């Protein structure tokens, strides 16, 4: 009896796992170099010679995001052959990588349209890098949910995935606009993006928590959706409707829970005026925790 047989894994399954893992490692490696290529710098020099913490945080977010997406590609039944498994894993992985890059592009142009994200990260702006990493992780969490929701490997599958992805990007932009409005109302109309550009790390940590929480909450919608490959309009409207519900529900719960957990602490003053990273980190943890609880309750 072989070691694989002793632990209950067949040779066929072991080969499939090896194929998936190999492709995943190749894609994760590619993501690190794509980060440098995207902003036209040498990633090795930025990370090890210039010790650019902002670039490191941004790259870490991208690599983690791709890892999250790949878990969605791996999850599911094995394909009918090794070739089909490799094709399926590669197709979903590359498509996921493209969507992550597209999501970051859309976030830069639509959500953070008043600042040059790449320029700020190269300058070492940690606050902007934290928001960038948070947006990438949020997008990846959403893509993973959609990959698991969709079935088969057809053109309809990719259309359904892309449709849900676009809805999710709209929700992340709306969340950012709402948070910007809240920040401006408490800070003499000071733009939130200007504060991030000035290196407001505490604000970045809190906002990244909201983005990731929204990404996790978006997962809950997938449990109520029935995958219909050719229902293009219906899929978009369903994702949009459930996403709005989850955004409202998440916002209400966060407002309540944060007042209870951080009772007798002026969160706005501590984070926005005093740049209290500790309070911002607690807010981020609460946001993600509540989103996880919502997703688990609705699974």
Is residue 24 within 8 Å of residue 74, measured between CB atoms? yes
- Structure-token pair, residue 291: 């989103």
Considering the entire predicted model, what is its pTM? 0.87
pLDDT in tens, 106-128: 888 888 888 898 889 999 999 99
Q: Over the range 60-73, which residues count as b (16 or more CB within 10 Å of their CB) and which as e?
A: bbbbbbbbbbbebb
Is residue 67 within 8 Å of residue 141, measured between CB atoms? no
pLDDT in tens, 29-55: 888 777 777 777 777 777 777 888 999
pLDDT in tens, 130-144: 999 999 999 889 888
Is residue 127 within 8 Å of residue 194, measured between CB atoms? no
Q: Region 10-17: what's the mean pLDDT?
A: 74
In this predicted structure, what is the pLDDT of residue 1? 44
Is residue 61 within 8 Å of residue 137, measured between CB atoms? yes
């Amino acid at each position: 009896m072989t070691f694989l047989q002793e632990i209950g894994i067949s040779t066929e399954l072991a080969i499939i796992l090896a194929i998936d893992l190999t492709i995943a490692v190749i894609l994760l490696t590619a993501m690190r170099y794509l980060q440098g290529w995207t902003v036209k710098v040498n990633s090795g020099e930025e990370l090890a010679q210039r010790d650019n913490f902002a670039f490191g945080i941004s790259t870490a977010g991208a690599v983690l995001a791709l890892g999250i997406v790949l878990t969605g590609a791996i999850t599911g039944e094995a394909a009918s052959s090794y070739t089909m498994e490799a094709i399926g894993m590669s197709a979903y992985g590359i498509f996921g990588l493209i969507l992550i890059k597209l999501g970051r592009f859309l976030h830069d142009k639509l959500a953070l349209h008043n600042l040059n994200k790449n320029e700020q990260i190269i300058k070492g702006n940690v606050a902007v890098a934290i928001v960038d990493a948070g947006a990438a992780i949020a997008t990846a969490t959403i893509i993973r949910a959609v990959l698991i929701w969709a079935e088969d490997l057809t053109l309809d599958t990719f259309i359904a995935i892309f449709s849900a992805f676009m809805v999710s990007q709209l929700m992340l932009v709306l969340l950012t606009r709402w948070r910007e409005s809240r920040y401006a109302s408490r800070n003499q109309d000071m733009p939130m993006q200007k504060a991030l550009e000035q290196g407001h790390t505490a604000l970045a940590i809190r906002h990244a928590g909201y983005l990731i929480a929204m990404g996790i909450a978006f997962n809950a919608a997938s449990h109520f959706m029935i995958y219909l490959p050719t229902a293009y309009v219906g899929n978009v409207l369903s994702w949009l409707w459930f996403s709005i519900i989850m955004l409202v529900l998440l916002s209400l719960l966060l407002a309540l829970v944060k007042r209870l957990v951080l009772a007798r602490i002026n969160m706005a003053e501590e984070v926005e005026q005093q740049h209290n990273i500790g309070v911002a980190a607690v807010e981020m943890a609460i946001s993600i925790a509540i989103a996880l609880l919502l997703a688990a309750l609705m699974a």
